[in-house]
Amino acid sequence: MFVFPTLAEMFPIAVIEAADAGVPVVANDIKPVREVLLIDEKPCALFVDAADTGAFAAAVQRMLADRKLRDELTARGRTLSQVYSLDAMVDRFAALIDGLLPEH
């Protein structure tokens, strides 16, 4: 299991790599983490407020105990490489740059 209680993150590559590797993830429910761990608006991780240590510990226990939830989230997480592969990222950056350039 990958436990990610970070309080601040810009682009959480480690949590993406963990989920994509099929490791169950429990993560702090902050916007950048939630955004990268959604596939078709469905989570690839169990999100919880890390400031609530009791709730965070309960989420870790739930992930350990609930095989169906764990399997569902890890299966979805394994598809993150389609979104965050080098080719996909380069294509998105190129499209972003093209969108910023003045029309010729």
What CATH number is attached to the domain comprising 46?
A: 3.40.50.2000
Is 45 among the domain residues? yes
Question: What residues make up the domain containing 15?
Answer: 2-79
Is 93 among the domain residues? no
CB 70 within 8 A of CB 46: no
Total domains in the chain come to: 1
Is 47 among the domain residues? yes
Is 72 among the domain residues? yes
Residue 70's pLDDT is what? Answer: 96
Task: Indicate the DSSP class of residue 2.
Answer: E
Contacts of residue 64, defined as CB under 8 A and 6 or more positions apart, other chains included, come to 1, 70
Residue 104's pLDDT is what? Answer: 53
Is 102 among the domain residues? no
pLDDT digit string, tens, across residues 3-51? 999 998 888 989 999 999 999 999 999 999 999 999 999 999 999 999 9
Is 66 among the domain residues? yes
pLDDT-derived band of residue 86, with 50, 70 and 90 as boundaries? confident
Is 85 among the domain residues? no
